[in-house]
A and B are shown apart, each in its own frame.
Chain A
């Protein structure tokens, strides 16, 4: 099969590139090694659409972040039906002697074009964030920052790209790349060899290996682990902004993060690790997160925690690596996409398209680009009156499966129709099992719906793809 462009990796970067390319008359293939999109770094992060502060005005990522944030606010959230909440951010200091540092962040941010930055004092904080502890003295208010569900962002981009003609192949790990003499690549994945003139490498943690496979061993990725802890929805209102301490050299510090689904989150840590598959949380990580957060907000308690996870930032030096590799003509790397990669993705996608164009890809707009995607129905996001209308239209929206997060049988079926084939895929799309009981009540029900819709035997159902089977045997 022959394509104009193959994109390696259906994380936020690959998904955004796929959607951007789907505007043009091109044959595009998106290859993903996991069973579903968004199962890499893009599923485990803070979900913040950063304003762009705390990046050097001389960095690529600084500019891409500011532009990504603008695109989200002005276009993407509305076009793709995303639940983006522009809650704003506070960077707090514990010592008024640190005010010059806030001034510097403000100045750098303004140089990047970030609007509305303002220093606020203790009185403002007491009025607007009453749960902050007495140690907090002042803050920088960043109004353009917001929050989003990171995996639903990926799914929306992928769905829209597919609607506009992109081919998606999951469970397709790229294992071989051969350069074609006259230009282009043979790409082997999932037992098939595909041909493409251009290859976009958006393989996250594995982008270094893939670039080397294509003939450009030009960088190395180091995973930097971040542990995050989610709190019960009952604590939704502990904060109304995303709250950062003044950043240190190594990281942005431990944050109090609002999430677009309601549960507040605390974290992340930032420690380099050796293993690209090490997603374990640790006793030390938990202790670090709790002590970091309690300095800002003493009332946060360990017993509020209902879930946790770790993510790995794909780090390759200080900045993103977004470039054409002259040593492997036709290869464009979008690698080292650490934070703020989620925010920057739409802007990265535009930059990647420009690079492809510069190296000979013709970008001819399609007459019929469908830019809109209908938002899936989520009971938990609806006021009761709207829920009533939905249920009266389709009774299965009134058949509640997940009691903690209020998810109906129909939403589970919708998720499967939109591409979910695993238990985690259903969780990320619908929130079923994501609440305080962790699927204790609803897992068997969801598995039965999966059996019906997918036609799998129960022993073939997985948490997140082959190897993660849920049931070992069935009683005869």
Chain B
């Protein structure tokens, strides 16, 4: 089995920042594994501005932010980037297996940083009842369809959840000529940034219903309508408050969950509720020499803070390697 000094899993902003910082702190050999065909992670589909105000003191789009790090990574001959490389196995002894077109590789690393990001919570995780037709998408998937493929998923949409992704997708869909009929939020306030509520909903006249939930999705082949009901402070339906909204699309934006299945496989302690590593400090896991950073460690609102903490992760890994 080949030995490597530091292996980083995930080439989003977290993985890239960790790689750059590890090099700055003296690590000589970094292997960065990314599943996708390019570096950048989720930033590649975030074509709206609003990235980098803190780190670069400039307002960048997601891909612009990612590119700044990607060039740092690519310029450094001591960082080997392996794309389309999907890590499928990790052990507590830091042995790692990954698939890529044509081969299955096995490596032993002296230190590992997991920067695998998040997945979206789904309709199924909040158990919205009703039928299961076409037209129900996680908001991030819809974002990828619209921004990366130019596919417009529907004509009339309802969005579940008022987190930033939901808000940004409401605006994005409206700009593409989709009639966004409502954003439905079960809480009393939005989880998103205030500027997004104003710029994405108010400026476009999209109604936001607080303390409401979708009680059923209808439609046999494609979504036809949703039932909406008002809830009280205990999230119980208020009888008589129900109404319908006809639509062909429902976007689900109800939060992100850190992707820590590899860490779990290696036997690290994971909080079952948040799916984050259980450890005494940021970027640490319960396995020595295995670190987690970025959205895999905890869900961040702003990429600037992902960068800051992930650079720290790179430094921590370097110090761990030096001390060994």
Contact = CB atoms under 8 A, between A and B. Distances in A.
Interface residues of A, number: 55
Contacts of A218: none
8 contacts: A384-B104, A388-B103, A388-B104, A438-B123, A441-B119, A469-B134, A470-B135, A471-B153
B124 A305 contact: yes
Interface of B: 35, 84, 86, 88-89, 97, 99-104, 119-120, 122-125, 127, 129-135, 137-138, 140-141, 144-146, 148-155, 176, 215-216, 218, 220-222, 248, 261, 264, 272-273
Given A279-B132, A472-B155, A440 B124 contact: no
Contacts of A448: 149
Contacts of A406: 88
Contacts of A285: 129
Given A387-B99, A392-B102, A441-B119, A308 B149 contact: no
Which residue, A277, A285, A398, A467, has most C-beta atoms of chain B within 10 A? Answer: A398
B151 A281 contact: no
A471 B151 contact: yes
Task: Pick the 4 closest A-B CB pairs, nearest first.
Answer: A467-B221, A395-B102, A463-B134, A475-B150
Contacts, number: 142
Given A400-B35, A403-B86, A472-B155, A280 B101 contact: no
Which residue, B129, B137, B152, has most C-beta atoms of chain A within 10 A? Answer: B129
A92 to B, nearest CB: 26
Contact of A307 (B124, B153, B215, B222): B124
Majority secondary structure, B binding face:
mixed
A302 B146 CA distance: 33
Contact of A384 (B97, B100, B129): B97
A387 B104 contact: yes
A279 B131 contact: yes
Contacts of A438: 122-124, 138
A391 interface: yes
B148 A398 contact: no
Contact of A472 (B103, B104, B141, B152): B152
Contacts of A277: 220
A444 B133 CA distance: 17
A465 interface: yes
A440 B145 contact: no
A473 interface: yes
Contacts of A440: 119-120, 122, 138, 140-141
B174 to A, nearest CB: 14
A141 interface: no
A437 B122 contact: yes
Nearest to B248: A472
A358 interface: no
A277 B146 CA distance: 32
A437 B123 CA distance: 10
A416 interface: no
A475 B248 CA distance: 18
Contacts of A470: 134-135, 153
Contacts of A469: 134, 222
A395 B101 contact: yes
Which residue, B84, B151, B176, B218, has most C-beta atoms of chain A within 10 A? Answer: B151
B127 A384 contact: no
Interface in A433-476: 436-441, 443-444, 448, 458, 462-475
A181 interface: no
B130 A280 contact: yes
A309 interface: yes
Interface in A370-392: 384, 387-388, 391-392
A438 B121 CA distance: 9
A391 B84 CA distance: 14
A391 B153 contact: no
A468 B261 CA distance: 33
B119 A305 contact: no
Given A403-B35, A472-B153, A472-B248, A437 B134 contact: no
Given A400-B88, A469-B134, A469-B222, 9 more contacts: A302-B127, A303-B125, A387-B99, A458-B151, A463-B133, A463-B221, A472-B248, A474-B152, A475-B176
